[in-house]
Structure 1
Amino acid sequence: MKVFIQISIALLWLSSIAGWAQDDLPKMLEENEPKTSNFTTATFKGTRIINGHSVETVKKNHLDFIIHHRFDALNSGAYNLYGLDYSTVRLGFEYGITDQFMIGIGRSSVQKTYDFLAKAKLLRQSSGTRNVPVSATAFVSAVIETQDKTLGTQDQTSYCTQLLIARKFSDKLSLQLNPTLLYRNRVATAKQERALFALGVGGRLKLNKRLSLNAYQGILIKTWDELRL
């Protein structure tokens, strides 16, 4: 009988330890797990928001071939096929050096223009141990117009710098701001400013699984002389 009592006490003690371990072990393991950051993906579905650039870049070792079409005003009438007769085209290639850095080159029919660009991700929206509220990407480009043979390359070159700042508020809504500085080596008239500061605003609203509404608008803010004042 004495042995039976001792065995019973031992079993009760072991069961109490097992119960404590069952409750506290998962908590201990959770506390010891390495903390991670959850990065936001697909703020936009491509590198563009209509004609403006988005915070997205081409993935490493991927090459994108992009065709842009722009048309004249719809109210130009049936004789001009409502703007289709005056279309302009840009052909471009964009390549991902890394997942965060890409380069590109393009050629547009407007002024027989060549452009060279680069984009680099600076911040990625994330939650968890590293809480970053927005994504930010730096964009630079140089544009050379080659139609006028009487001008040198420098006179036909202009430069653009942008800081693309975006936030994905939900699976349906993403918004972006593009502070922009444009510098032109040559302007058409003496009254035009070579340096301009503008702000681009873009967004994407997902309507269903296959359809989304995209919008982009650029706004001229200041000339360089006004900024210095």
Structure 2
Amino acid sequence: MLKNIFFILCLMIYPIGANAQTQADLASLVQQLADKSRSTQGEAIDALAATGEASAIAPLEALLNGRLYTRKSDDSVWIVTESATGYELIHPLSGESAGSAASDEMSKANITNSLRTKLRGALGSMTLLSPDPALRRQAADAIFKNAAPDSIPLLESAIAKETSSAVRRRMQRALAGIQLDTSTDPVTRLNAIAALGEFTDQEVRALLGNVAGRSAEAAGGEEVRAAAQSALAGGERRLHPSISK
């Protein structure tokens, strides 16, 4: 009964798309992502990926990143973010805030390594290799924020196949961001800084600023730190041309 109520609420909260049945199917599949049966979880991952729906990306990413939880009182499934008192709840399909819950009210959806591999493949096929350029761009920006080194092979493959110069640029931004954030190789970090220096958005500037503000040792060498400082200064000049006058 409670599960049925949750599915109905999903449809009320999430905007109606091409048809109500599609949304009901998505809500049901999201529910199955948190099932205790690994085979059920795997089937749900495959089914969500097969829909090609952009709204299916968030719950799959949440499951991969350990942020998909079930509320014990009604078995409803939510994406969570940690708060001082427990968790903030986010609707898995609409992305809308849905209040909060104490930690002991929620149960994490667990996955095995094989499911983790399946999730990465599903997300890669849904997003970076999607026929929709807007979705590919969205995927690249999401990967930049997550900065997971496991995404590098998918990014490199997608960049090689990308036909849109604008989308390829966002993918290259994501790749450089991951490399700067996770690599310890000075040459890789320098190349990443050079690539990121072409961007002036706040996310890139924050990443460069994090490196530029460290000690030389923590930054991976004085050359790396200086390059980050130079890239930041160059971005500042492009944002505010009067500075260079």
TM-score tier after normalising by the smaller chain length: under 0.3
- The TM-score, its normalising length taken from structure 2, stands at 0.21
Structure with the greater relative contact order (CA < 8 A, sep ≥ 6): 1 or 2?
Answer: 1
Higher strand share: 1
- The TM-score, its normalising length taken from structure 1, stands at 0.22
Higher helix share: 2
